[in-house]
């Protein structure tokens, strides 16, 4: 085992973690394999822990749907067929379900739930800002992901829900989303904004604000905005209460966070930042998963010595090999390439091992997944990755 790498005796397993939790939130920067990790962990949980396991992903690749034996999956939860498991040679103790997060649909559901009457509901949906806001509102994806999670969890339909978080510009955005959403709807600004359209009475303190807003955006647009928020305010109580409940769920002991990262510098830094933020805000960091980890043998000093010799004295070494391999100069070139390639990858592996040491201090569970040289096409492939995560 490489330097600095924790042994299994000092850290728990993902199996233990998942068996004790009801909600697992996978986070990390883009391109680190979050979605695949979430799906693999879900499949392993369904197989080994039993019960009903749901994986909610944000933007699933078609390949992931295929790997789960599904044509596609959408906002509605879909069960992964037993045949997919049978093809992979396993018999799961539980059930695996998958769903995708459709932001627009989820917002519509939310409005449907909270609108006081059908008239308000329709007015909201018809407002020109509604589509735009639900589609592009900076925090709307983040919020709706957490909202959906809460809805699923409180429905009691699943024993374990694993969520893949949306790619945010800032990894902690989605954590703060419920609070910000509640703040936003109770903010004075919103009241300011909607006042003149109710009373047409603008006081001295707020007048400059309107003048600027009017100049910049035009009063028609302002009215659209005001109407939208006036309508939304009818849902205010339900909405804020809901946002607070979502917040409590995130902080609950039954919820845990799994940070996923590769060992490249930018994702590692983001993971570091994210772990600090989790800690500061009192969330539970359950595990860190390192993806695409280069093999340990690259750090072996004796092998490095051999590689160095091959790169430095290829002709001499080639001459010591059986003649049947081919022309000595060709063989020497191969020896040279092989040695150099090892040394090249070793530089990267050494750097990554350093990165890893810095990060590994924090959570109880640390899992490493090696660099898979082929893409994952089926459940068997997903489970190979899952095995690496699991124990």
Partner 1 sequence: MLGLLERKLLFVTGKGGVGKSTVAAALGALAAERGKRTLICETDAKGNLADFFEVGATEFEPTEVFDGLFAMSMDTEESLKEYLRLQLKLPLVARIGPLARTFDFVANAAPGVKEILTVGKFCFEVRERNYDLVVVDAPASGHIVGQLAAPDAIKELVQVGLVRDQTGWMMDILGDPNKTGVVVVAAPEEMPVQETIELADRLETETVVDLAAVVVNRVLPELFNRPEEEIFEQMRTDEVVEALTDAAGGPARPVLDAAELAVTLRRSRAGHLSRLRDELPDGVPLLYVPYLFQRSHGVRATKQIAGFLGEELGY
Q: In the complex with partner 1, which residue's Cβ is closer, 36 or 78? A: 36
**Cβ-proximal residues to 336 (8 Å cutoff; 6+ apart), any chain:** 310, 311, 314
Between 9 and 216, CB nearer to partner 1 = 216
Question: CB of residue 324 vs partner 1: minimum separation in angstroms?
Answer: 8
If one asks whether residue 2 binds partner 1 (CB under 8 A), the answer comes out as no
CA distances from 306 to 311, 316, 323 (A): 9, 13, 21
Residues 40 and 289: their CA atoms lie apart, in Å, by 12
Among residues 119, 122, 276, 330, the one that binds partner 1 under rule CB under 8 A = 330
Residue list 23-42, contact with partner 1 (CB under 8 A)? 29-32
In contact, 51 and 18? CB cutoff 8 Å: no
Q: Which is nearer to partner 1, 90 or 317 (CB)?
A: 317
x-or-dash string of contact with partner 1, 43-72, rule CB under 8 A? ----------------x-x-x---------
Does 104 engage in binding with partner 1 (CB under 8 A)? no
Site size toward partner 1 (CB under 8 A) is: 87
Determine if 264 is a binding residue for partner 1 (CB under 8 A): yes
Instruction: Give residues with Cβ within 8 angstroms of 7, minimum separation 6.
Output: 1
Residue 27's H or E segment, with its range, is strand 23-27
Name the residue among 139, 388, 370, 100 with its Cα closest to residue 246.
139
Sole binder of partner 1 in the list 285, 331, 366, 379 (CB under 8 A) = 331
Nearer to partner 1, 106 or 140 (CB): 140
Task: Give 130's contacts (C-beta < 8 A, 6+ positions apart).
Answer: 124, 228
Exactly one of 170, 248, 251, 391 binds partner 1 (CB under 8 A); that residue is: 170
- The nearer residue to partner 1, 48 or 333, going by C-beta atoms, is 333
Binding residues for partner 1 restricted to 220-259, rule: CB under 8 A: 220-221, 224-225, 229
Query: Of 174, 135, 150, which is closest to residue 28 (Cα–Cα)?
Result: 174
Q: Does 270 bind partner 1 (CB under 8 A)?
A: yes
> Is 284 in a helix, a strand, or coil?
coil
* Residue 304 touching partner 1 (CB under 8 A): yes
Instruction: Evaluate whether 34 touches 26 at the Cβ level (below 8 Å).
Output: yes
305 sits near partner 1 (criterion: CB under 8 A): yes
Query: What is the number of other CB atoms lying within 10 angstroms of the CB of residue 45?
Result: 28
- Contact residue for partner 1 among 341, 358, 361, 387 (CB under 8 A): 341
According to CB under 8 A, which residues from 180 to 209 bind partner 1? 184, 187, 189-190, 193, 205, 208-209
């Amino acid at each position: 085992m490489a330097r600095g790498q924790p042994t299994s005796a000092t850290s728990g397993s993902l199996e233990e973690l998942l068996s004790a939790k009801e909600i697992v939130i996978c986070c990390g920067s883009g391109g680190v394999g979050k979605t695949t990790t979430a799906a693999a962990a879900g499949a392993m949980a369904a197989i080994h822990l039993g019960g009903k396991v749901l994986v909610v992903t944000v933007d699933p690749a078609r390949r992931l749907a295929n790997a789960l034996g599904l044509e596609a999956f959408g906002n509605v939860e879909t069960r992964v067929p037993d045949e997919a498991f049978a093809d992979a040679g396993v018999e799961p103790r539980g059930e695996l379900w998958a769903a995708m997060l459709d932001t627009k649909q989820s917002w519509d559901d939310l409005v449907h739930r909270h609108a006081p009457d059908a008239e308000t509901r329709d007015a909201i949906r018809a407002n020109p800002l509604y589509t735009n806001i639900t589609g592009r509102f900076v925090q709307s994806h983040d919020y709706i992901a957490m909202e959906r999670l809460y809805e699923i969890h409180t429905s009691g339909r699943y024993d374990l829900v694993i969520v893949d978080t949306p790619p945010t510009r800032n990894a902690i955005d989605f954590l703060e989303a419920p609070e910000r959403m509640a703040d936003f709807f109770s903010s004075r600004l919103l009241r300011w904004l909607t006042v003149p359209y109710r009373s047409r009475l603008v006081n001295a303190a707020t007048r400059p604000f309107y003048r600027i807003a009017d100049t910049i955006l035009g009063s028609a647009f302002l009215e659209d905005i005001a109407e939208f928020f006036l309508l939304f305010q009818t849902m205010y109580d339900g909405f804020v209460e809901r946002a607070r409940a979502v917040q409590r769920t995130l902080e609950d002991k039954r919820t845990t966070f799994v940070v996923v990262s590769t060992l490249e510098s930018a994702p590692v830094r983001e993971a570091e930042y994210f772990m600090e933020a989790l800690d500061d805000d009192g969330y539970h960091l359950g595990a860190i998963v390192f993806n695409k980890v280069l093999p340990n043998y690259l750090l072996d000093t004796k092998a490095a010595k051999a590689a160095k010799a091959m790169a430095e004295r290829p002709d001499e070494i080639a001459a010591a090999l059986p003649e049947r391999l081919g022309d000595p100069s060709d063989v020497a070139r191969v020896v040279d390439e092989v040695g150099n390639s090892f040394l090249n990858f070793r530089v990267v592996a050494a750097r990554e091992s350093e990165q890893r040491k810095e990060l590994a201090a924090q959570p109880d569970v640390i899992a490493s997944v090696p660099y898979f040289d082929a893409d994952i096409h089926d459940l068997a492939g997903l489970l190979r990755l899952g095995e690496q995560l699991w124990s």
